[in-house]
Structures are given as C-alpha cells and as structure tokens.
A and B are shown apart, each in its own frame.
Chain A
Amino acid sequence: MIAAVLALRDVRRRYSDGYALDVPSLDVFAGEILGVIGPNGSGKSTLLRILGLLERPDAGQVIVGGRAVDARDALAERRRMATVFQEPLLADASVADNAGLGLRFRGVPAAEAAPRVARWLERLGVAALAGRAARTLSGGEAQRVALARALVLEPEVLLLDEPFSGLDAPTRAALVTDLGAILRADRVTTVLVTHERGEAQALADRVAVLMDGRLRQLDDTARVFYAPVSEEVARFVGVETLVAGRVLGREAGVTAVEVGGRVLEVAAVAAAGARVRVGIRPEDVTLTVAEGARVASSARNALDGTVTRVSASTHATHVLVDVGFPLVAAVTARSVNELGLRPGARVRAVFKASAAHLIPA
C-alpha cells in the first residue's frame, strides 16, 4: 500500500446554515490527478480549503506526508502545497513579480527565483507578458499567470478550485489541454475541484463525487463515468437514460433485462429477478434509419422507436426516442439533418451491451 501524500480522516465541517461536510476518508496519492466533482454548493471548495490547510475542520484530521497537522500552526506544511482558485487575483505588480510571489514568501533569493519564474511563464505560454502590469491581463492570461505562480513552487500537491470556470469556452479548452500536458509530463500530484464533469473526465485519473457534503463515489475516472453507483451520481456524470428494469436471467455471457416491454442485452452481471435501474450515456447510443436491413454491428441492442424531442445544446444535439421507454441519444447536427430527426420520425437506436450499466434499484 502506497502512503498518501495528503489525506483526510473523519473530517467534518459544519456551517450555521445547516450545510455540512462529512468525509470519513480521502487519500491523495503521489503523481495522481484526483478530480472532485459535484454540483454547486456540495462542499467541494470547503474540502479543498481544508486539504490546503486554509480552513480548519470542526473534527477530524488533515494528514500531510503521514503526519496530522493543525491548520492554525502549519506554515511549513502549507508551503508544501499551492492552490489556484477560480478567480486569479493578482497583486498590483508586474506579471513576473506576481509569478515569483510564493518563492519570495519562501525566502528564495531573487537571482535563483528569476530563471524559475521565467521557465514557468514560458511553459504556460505567457512569457511574453512577463513585464506587463498584472492588472492589464485578460481573464485567460491572468489564470495562466496564477497557475505559473503556483507551479513554480513545485508543490507536493497542487490544489485547483474551479480554475477554468471563469473563462470563455475556447480559452478554457486551450488551458485544459495545456495544463493537462504539464501535469502529466511532470506527474504533478493534483486535486482538481470542478462542477464541470468534462474537465474531470479529461484530466483526472480518479474521481470523487461529492454531493451534499458527502462522498458518493470515489473510483477510477472511467468507473465513475461508466459505472456510477447510484442514480444521483449517474445523473451528475451525464447518464441521461435511467429507466427501471427487471433482470430476466443470464445466458451466453449477457444479462437479459426487461425494460418497458423490451428486452435489453447487458454486459453487467446481475441476479435473475433483481429490480435494477438501467443507465445509458447518450453518446453511447447511435441512431440510424429504422427501415432496411439489420445494421452489421457488434452492438447487441437495436430498438426501433419514435423521436419525441430534439434539443440542441452547445456540444451536441440530444434526441429523445420512445422505444418503449425514453432513451436519449447524442447526435451531431449533421445527423439531425441526414436522418430527418424531428418529433414523430421513426428511427432505430443502437447501443452495445457494454454501454448499458445496471444500478441496484
């Protein structure tokens, strides 16, 4: 068992408005990127502040490098970490001065700090701004400087609190890519708090789902997204089809589940007769024309149905199909045209046995 670089044990934090955080155990291992996702107000930021020794829990321990520490008297431990927040608040000084702030706090001589600062501004793509006044930067530039001033400290744990939330979509996408590359190349131990599940999916090795102050699931990223443990978690990680079903039995390596009068073939194992919820991610469902020959495909499930709703969003168009139960598919704008997807249209929905996930009802 590898020792955690940072851990929480029986941590509780209560606020007067009734909101509470309750985390029996959480470990952050060296070199991993741990995503903490959850809706707004679920306690993610509080959790991160407690991890960063910026706030004391009412009960429980924060363990840094195997030793329990008290946030009131933990300057040395606090200096082993660095946090970047949603809003990059920079000091009224030059970009380079801002990036060197943490090194100055640690008493690193200016001659030694300058090349380190220059290198990190370079890695974050803001070297050209070094001499600029920090207050004149755009939001994206400022966040890159804020990341540089944290990364230049080479923290044992980098804590990120919604670092991309304040940015517009193209800026955010570029920063997620650049930061991901840096974190992986340097194997920076990172805790990333975000309400955008896509960011966690893109960056995290493991994901913790926090809801109402409690950890609902903590597992490898793929497991959380493709095998959520509860309906609530499933909804939050983007499983849009969630329907009640009954397990008929298992045969030839697949489980037959009856849902809304249709029989689905599901890869997951479950006992015959069990009541379950079947979860399917919209991007795992393909729509084709209903008529014609069977589509040659490894997909086990092909259900004909009628389109009941088409809703376009920024990323993809979601199509609700009645196949005996409501099934959501994500399609491209091109498919909407080519297949003539509109309410009333007949389509065939296809998905693999492995795309359907069973949650105990």
Chain B
Amino acid sequence: MRVILSIASTTVGEAIRRRVLLIILLIGVLFLAVAPGLTVLSARQERTVLIGMTLGIIQLTSAVIAIVLTVYMIPNEIERRTIYTILCKPVQRWQFLVGKYLGAVAALGLMMALMTIVLVLVFALQQGVQQMDQLVLLAKAPAMFFVQMSLLAAVAIFFSTFVSPLVNFFLSGGLYLVGSLFNSFFEVISSNPNSPALAKGFATFANTILPNFANYNVQNPIINPGQIIENESIYYVRVTIYGLLYIGILLVGGIVIFDRREV
C-alpha cells in the first residue's frame, strides 16, 4: 500500500506542475468568475442560468482535465523510460497502475475542489452568505461530478495501457460524450413503439454494459429547487457504488493488459 501511495503522491506533484492542466484550470476558474455577467440572457431565470452555467463549466473543465491528465500518464513514463527506474524496484505493475490512477484522481479532486470553492464564492458574493444551505446544496453536483470524472479517468487510464495518447484522447472523450447521452437515447428508443426490436436490444445492452456517465448529471434539482427528488441520498450512494464497480472493472482490465505489455 505504501508503494501505491508513494506513486500516487508523486503523480499528484507531477500533475500540479503540468502547465497545460493549470491553463485549463485557469480558464475554468475565469469562466466561473465572469459567469454572473451572462445571466442577462434569460429574463426571470437569472439564478437558474447562473447555476446551470457554472455547473456546466465545472463539468466541462473537469472532463478535459481528467482526460488530458490521464492519457499521457503511462505512455509518457514509457517514452521517457522513467518506468524502468520504477519497475526495477520492488514495485509490481499493478501497483504502478493503481498508484498512477489514484494520483490522477487526487489531483483531479484538488482541481475540482478549487473550482467548487470559486463557485461557492461567486454565489456567496452574488446571493449573500445568509443562504448557506443553498451553497451547500450547490456543492452536491460537483461531488457527483467528481465520481463521474474518476470514472472517466479510469476509462482513460485503461485505454492508455494499449493505445497512443492522441487516440486515447478521442476514444475517452467520445466514450464520455456517448456515455452522457446513453440514458436519454435509451429513453427515446425504449419509449418509441416504432423502434426496431434490434435497436431496442442494442440500446438495452449498451445502457447496461458500458459506463454510464449520465447517471451523475444530477443538476436538475439543484438548478430548479422546486423539483422534488425521491430517495435522493440512496440514489447518490447507488451511483457512487456503480462508479466504484466500474472503476474496478477498468483498473483490473488495465492491469491485465499492462501486465502483458512489453515496456
């Protein structure tokens, strides 16, 4: 375990030093800060637009960070040959992979926490600190996004064990996009009586087997507080378990592939 933590902490340090990630983070934070100026676009819906937009900024920025952070992780180590200095020590490959993943997730968590703090500050300045309960409510979505991005990072690290970073970027990004649409597409296909049975079957299969990122898009009740959610906490626990299960699948898959790979 100490080995894994050691690799993870080194990875966090590396991630924080990477300029490209810091630039993406900076852009995200800047957008969050100027977001209140764009609420004029919707009469009577300023608050709704502001929450929707800021959560969208966090989600998009986090997704880009998660992918950029992880796609280069393993290939860079191999390319620079730094992996040899690690693997020649008493470090198993699986420990290396898991350590790298945990480091990436920790770095991601730090960056998302920073963005969430900016989000809360923006709202505290605009709406006043007296509405603390709403600010806490606001932080719920980034918490779910964190699970979502951890899953995305697992997808990217899985692919990074056998494809090049560029391919991995599009593969992970594409899977994230498709995974975000799964529930909606599945809903359309299953509720349409004219959908072919084959399409319905495929949609059911895809919705069951492939990683479903849409589960973590829980903005609706936060953006529109009038909406009543049944068993909200249970839902959050379930999707977190789902995320952990899927991260487990991807890491195990990555370990199997990485173990066989010649470096």
Real binding pair: no
B-binding residues in A (CB < 8 A): none
Interface on B for A, CB 8 Å cutoff? none
